[in-house]
Amino acid sequence: MQKIVHLKSKKHSMIIKVGRVPEILHWGANIAKIDPDLILSTERPISQARLDVDVPLSLCPELGSGHFNAPGIEGHRHGEDWAPVFEMKALTCDEQSASFTLEDTVAKLELLIEVKLDFNSDVVQKRITVKNVADKEYCLGKLSSTLSLPNHANELMTFHGRWCHEFQTQRLSFEHGGFMQENRRGRTSHENFPGLFVGSKGFSEQVGQVWGFHLGWSGNHQLRADVRSDGRRFVQAGELLLSGEVHLKEGEEYQSPWLYATYSNTGLNGISERFHEFVRANIIKFPTKKARPVHLNTWEGIYFDHKPEYIMQMATEAAEMGVERFIIDDGWFIGRDGERAALGDWYLDEKKYPNGLEPVINHVNEQGMEFGLWVEPEMVSEDSNLYRQHPDWVLSLPGYQQPSGRWQYVLDLQNPDCFSYLFDRLNDLLTRYNIGYFKWDMNRELVQPGHHGKPAVHGQTKALYRLFDELRLAHPDVEIESCSSGGGRIDFEILQRTHRFWASDCNDALERQAIQRGMSYFFPPEVMGAHIGPAECHSTNRRHAINMRGVTALSGHMGVELDPVKESAEEKQAFAHYIQLHKQYRDLLHSGRSFRIDPADQSQNIYGVENGEEMLITVCQLAMPNHALPAPLRVRCVEKEATYEVKIVEMPHTSFQLMKQRPQWLDQTLTLSGDNLEEIGVTLPILDPESALIVHLKKM
């Protein structure tokens, strides 16, 4: 007997037909009521010259039932039980969640498929658990979450990247075949962000139907989108397990990471709106409800050259500029004079800090700032006391010499002694010093990640989460930033335990425009670390005026990363100006609804945030404009009948090169109604390449 499960949220429905296995019939716009003929009207024909039975594209497709694309589960028992076919055993559900228990009595496996639809945000969560119910061990190769999509989802948007170039996007046709991403780097990675979008042809920021996906996992993953030869299509995501990584004894279980997904009929804006709402309500746990403090991070200012007196001078000047949290980056611990040594020796370098760290921290606190410290706990340098004492604490494979990365190795967190050492060192730092914030870095990939010779990325990732969890339990008020050579570990699961991401080591404002835009599809601005760097960017040698740098950093969780002592009075004044502007709009930026506007000219990046009362829109001219005159800025996200005060709150400070005469309104406040703003828009000045302006709208 077939049954229907109807999950409902504020705006969406997911309708699942439950026969031998559960299968999605609809996932998208709200369906008011289930028609009695729904099952009949969705019955599929059977095509000539193929299997004689209909094969459902279920929530866990099976090879053994005739699904010839990627199965949801793979594994074996010494070569047997490798093609399980499941049958529904039990179902529990309400309007927002369903749990399907399935069994295969031949292969002796049980599956628990959990699907939840968050009422407020319309975000779906799905995970699968497999249990071995035989007395013979089962070697699991794969357990992924599958969600099917309608046939008009025929265009893909995927992510790629590398160090200093995170969150880059590409479009692919999605008519035949598919897309597959395998991440084997042992961390979320710059290269393979675990997310993608599928939508109706040409979907854009503001237009089209889109389904968005993100796997919350910080280790290896596999993410794919496939179109079957019969036109049915699906997205599948799960942990990528190395050969022999997971063995289940009788009664043991493996649980997949959560797959997060949502639907929008207002383009990518509807997707990011929903992910942000979900993340704000369910993932981020700030210890207190304070405003996100403006940072100064010492890295690009002084690198490894630590002199306490000088750092205190930096702190004084930082506070004068309006900085609220001062972070000492790499270089503070014993023997850390460069990147080749000392990771693992988490004791203060008393040669650099003969009077201890306390005077610096006290000084920072006296300036009214919180103090933060950089750590990279999972790592060890070959040239370190820790490595000399415990070379066997490294994740490695006996008999092989693995390559180092940044001259360092990864510690085996599943080794209990190593785990306790790290917990004790971090706990000691947090107990001894008044530290409000850790920047937790992770600067290399996992190569030959063996624990007692066995593959261990799964175990390492779980142990890492446990290290975070135990520390946070002991120090609940401390905030943590997830950094991994910039944006190498950005995902929802690490965000359950952290409070900010270092989006990229690239502080080049032009590059940041693309990086931050890509990141903004999933993560709200308050967790996106964005810093004003020096005029000449350290990672690209490109130069930008302060307008471009200030505006770009302003819309995230803002900071500065340079040596204020060495900057001119004029630059310092400008930093203070952008910090002040950020603080003025910080509440709006960090709680409002973020959106992006489809630009008429691809040389512009236009994005904003609004809360019903106010709106802030940034127009960034990335490159030479396409036409001599820019298209008017048409603002869609407003109430049509309301009246708004519109004014420019930030413009390039240098003289304009491409514009002879500016529109008069730039120096005035306009009063415009919602429909005028949406249908006619306001003219913009001709911006020179790599400059930006900010418009503020206030409902009257």
Annotated binding site: 163, 329-330, 406, 439-443, 483, 505
Among residues 502 and 644, whose Cβ is nearest to ligand GLA? 502
Residue 163: CB minimum distance to ligand GLA, A: 8
Residue 312: CB minimum distance to ligand GLA, A: 20
Handedness of CA 225, 228, 229, 230 (dihedral sign): negative
Q: Going residue by residue from 7 to 26, which x/- string records binding to ligand GLA, judged by CB under 6 A? A: --------------------
| CA–CA separation, 472 and 479 (whole Å) | 9
Record the tokens describing residue 266, joined without a space: 């207002």
Residue 541: CB minimum distance to ligand GLA, A: 17
Strand, coil or helix: 515: helix
Residue 488: CB minimum distance to ligand GLA, A: 8
Strand, coil or helix: 100: strand
Query: Among 100, 138, 179, 374, which residue interacts with ligand GLA (rule: CB under 6 A)?
Result: 374
486 binds ligand GLA (CB under 6 A): yes
Record the tokens describing residue 174, joined without a space: 């999605």
Residue 341: CB minimum distance to ligand GLA, A: 12
Question: Are residues 484 and 504 in contact, defined by beta-carbon separation less than 8 angstroms?
Answer: no
Q: Going residue by residue from 496 to 525, which x/- string records binding to ligand GLA, judged by CB under 6 A? A: ------x--x--------------------
Handedness of CA 637, 615, 479, 184 (dihedral sign): positive
Among residues 245 and 441, whose Cβ is nearest to ligand GLA? 441
Active-site residue, from 81, 412, 491, 505? 505
Residue 359: CB minimum distance to ligand GLA, A: 23
Q: What are phi and psi of 482, to 5 degrees?
A: -95, 115
Query: Among 485, 513, 520, 691, which residue interacts with ligand GLA (rule: CB under 6 A)?
Result: 485
Q: Going residue by residue from 241 to 280, which x/- string records binding to ligand GLA, judged by CB under 6 A? A: ----------------------------------------
**Edge-to-edge, what's the strand order for the sheet holding 614-621?**
593-597, 604-610, 614-621, 691-699, 643-650, 670-673
The one segment of 117-125, 312-320, 481-489, 658-666 that binds ligand GLA by CB under 6 A: 481-489
Is 441 a catalytic site residue? yes
Query: Among 58, 396, 443, 621, which residue interacts with ligand GLA (rule: CB under 6 A)?
Result: 443
Which residues on adjacent β-strands are paired with residue 160?
168
Active-site residue, from 104, 122, 441, 563? 441
Query: Among 122, 330, 445, 491, which residue interacts with ligand GLA (rule: CB under 6 A)?
Result: 330
The residue sitting closest to ligand GLA, measured at its beta carbon, is 330
Question: Are residues 75 and 140 in contact, defined by beta-carbon separation less than 8 angstroms?
Answer: yes
Query: Among 235, 456, 483, 687, which residue interacts with ligand GLA (rule: CB under 6 A)?
Result: 483
The letter for the amino acid at 604 is Q
Record the tokens describing residue 589, joined without a space: 């930026």
Residue 309: CB minimum distance to ligand GLA, A: 22
562 binds ligand GLA (CB under 6 A): no
Binding residues for substrate: 163, 329-330, 406, 439-443, 483, 505
| CA–CA separation, 442 and 485 (whole Å) | 7
Query: Among 329, 491, 493, 567, which residue interacts with ligand GLA (rule: CB under 6 A)?
Result: 329
The one segment of 274-282, 310-318, 391-399, 480-488 that binds ligand GLA by CB under 6 A: 480-488
Strand, coil or helix: 197: strand
Question: Are residues 461 and 218 in contact, defined by beta-carbon separation less than 8 angstroms?
Answer: yes
Q: Which of residues 382-441 bind ligand GLA (CB under 6 A)?
A: 441
Provide CB contacts within 8 A for 375, sequence distance 6+. Answer: 346, 426, 429, 438, 439, 440, 441
Residues listed for the chain: 700
Is 505 a catalytic site residue? yes
Provide CB contacts within 8 A for 309, sequence distance 6+. Answer: none
Question: Which DSSP state fits 406?
Answer: T
Question: Are residues 141 and 63 in contact, defined by beta-carbon separation less than 8 angstroms?
Answer: no
| 3-state percent helix, strand, coil for the chain, nearest multiple of 5 | 25, 35, 45
Q: Which of residues 294-323 bind ligand GLA (CB under 6 A)?
A: 299
Query: Under the rule (CB under 6 A), what is the footprint of ligand GLA?
Result: 299, 329-330, 374, 441, 443, 483, 485-486, 502, 505
Active-site residues, by number, are 441, 505
